[in-house]
């Protein structure tokens, strides 16, 4: 079945540091890929998405590129802020499938 | 405002006392789903519904029931709660997977359930 493997956390960075959170996946067919973010005490919300190979999703300074050859969708940000502290989930969904598959989540803490 | 609304947000109950967590969405989404979030286990799918009167088991359906009588509502029922169902629960919705949409999920704010 489908699976998503995320870089284990927690991750602690200083403000303005570069962020990478690794995500690799196993899936049949051509899934859509997502990064969701969960701020403390809130539900998950979509951060960015990509629907086909070589697509780059971007939002709020975060980027991720759909790499079919390496089955990866790594999340990056050039300069993190304290307000980026949250849990980040990588996820995939196959077209017409009823299930979304999530990674275990990576907790990011950014210190001033 | 487009949203998914869950109630209650917090609940403490005792073993065996039936409870229902309601979920409602105002986006006319066909697809709805329930997840539980536990430390170290990430997000696990309990049940999902592709449309009215159509429900299917997710990865961890044991001890739960759902119904989908109306498009906007998808309640989660715990007939006889047990302590291992203590968790943070999320309801989510999206456009139909077959509608060409990429399946982006919209989540509620979560319901924290404690079973004593």
Identify the residue whose tokens are 């969708």. A73
SS3 of chain A: helix, strand, coil, percent, to 5? 5, 55, 45
Q: How confident is the model at residue B98 (pLDDT cuts 50, 70, 90)?
A: low
Query: How many other C-beta atoms lie within 10 A of the C-beta of residue A11?
Result: 17
Tell if the CB–CB gap between B43 and A89 is shorter than 8 Å. yes
pLDDT in tens, A17-40: 999 999 999 998 889 999 999 998
End-to-end CA distance of chain A: 41
Q: Is the pLDDT of residue A107 over 80?
A: yes
B2, B39, B103, best to mutate vs chain A, most A CBs in 10 Å? B103
For residues A99-105, give the mean pLDDT. 89
**What pLDDT score does A35 carry?**
97
- Pick from B42, B98, B109: CB nearest A102: B42
Using an 8 Å CB-CB cutoff, list residues of chain B that contact chain A. Answer: 4, 31, 33, 35, 40-43, 45, 48, 50, 56, 58-59, 90, 92, 97-98, 102-110
CA atoms within 13 Å, Cβ hemisphere of A72: 12
For residues A89-101, give the mean pLDDT. 83
CA distance A71 to chain B (A): 18
A25, A32, A44, A94, best to mutate vs chain B, most B CBs in 10 Å? A44
Q: Which residue of B has its CA nearest to A104?
A: B42
Query: How many other C-beta atoms lie within 10 A of the C-beta of residue B41?
Result: 12
A69: its two tokens: 């050859």
Q: Is B93 exposed, middle or buried (0-12, 13-18, 19+ CB in 10 A)?
A: buried
Q: Is the pLDDT of residue B91 over 90?
A: yes
B40: its two tokens: 């170290």
d(CA A8, CA B29): 33
CA distances from A79 to A16, A60, B65, B103 (A): 4, 11, 45, 29
**What pLDDT score does A7 carry?**
84
Q: How confident is the model at residue B100 (pLDDT cuts 50, 70, 90)?
A: low
**What pLDDT score does B108 carry?**
95
d(CA B79, CA A35): 34
Q: Write the DSSP symbol of residue B79.
A: S
**What pLDDT score does B101 carry?**
62
CA distance B36 to chain A (A): 12
- Contact in structure between B59 and B43 (CB atoms under 8 Å): no
d(CA B66, CA A31): 27
Q: Which residues lie below 8 Å from residue B108, measured CB to CB, with a gap of 6+? A: A43, B3, B4, B5, B6, B23, B90, B91, B92
């Amino acid at each position: 079945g489908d699976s998503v493997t995320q870089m284990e956390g927690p991750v602690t960075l200083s403000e303005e540091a570069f962020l990478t959170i690794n995500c690799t996946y196993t899936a049949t067919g051509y899934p859509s890929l997502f990064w969701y973010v969960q701020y403390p005490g809130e539900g998950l919300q979509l951060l960015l998405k990509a629907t086909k190979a070589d697509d780059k999703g971007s939002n709020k300074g975060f980027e991720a590129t759909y790499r079919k050859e390496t089955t990866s969708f790594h999340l990056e940000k050039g300069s993190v802020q304290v307000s980026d502290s949250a849990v980040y989930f990588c996820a995939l969904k196959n077209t017409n499938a009823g299930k979304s598959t999530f990674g275990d989540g990576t907790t990011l803490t950014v210190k001033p | 405002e487009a949203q998914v609304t869950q109630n209650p947000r917090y609940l403490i109950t005792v073993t065996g006392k039936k409870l229902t967590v309601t979920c409602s969405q105002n986006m006319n989404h066909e697809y709805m789903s329930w997840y539980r979030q536990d430390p170290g286990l990430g997000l696990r799918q309990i049940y999902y519904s592709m449309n009215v009167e159509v429900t299917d088991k997710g990865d961890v359906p044991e001890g739960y029931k759902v119904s989908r009588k109306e498009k906007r509502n998808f309640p989660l029922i715990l007939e006889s709660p047990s302590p291992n169902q203590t968790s943070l629960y999320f309801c989510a919705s999206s456009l139909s997977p077959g509608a060409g949409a990429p399946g982006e999920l919209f989540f509620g704010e979560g319901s924290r359930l404690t079973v004593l």
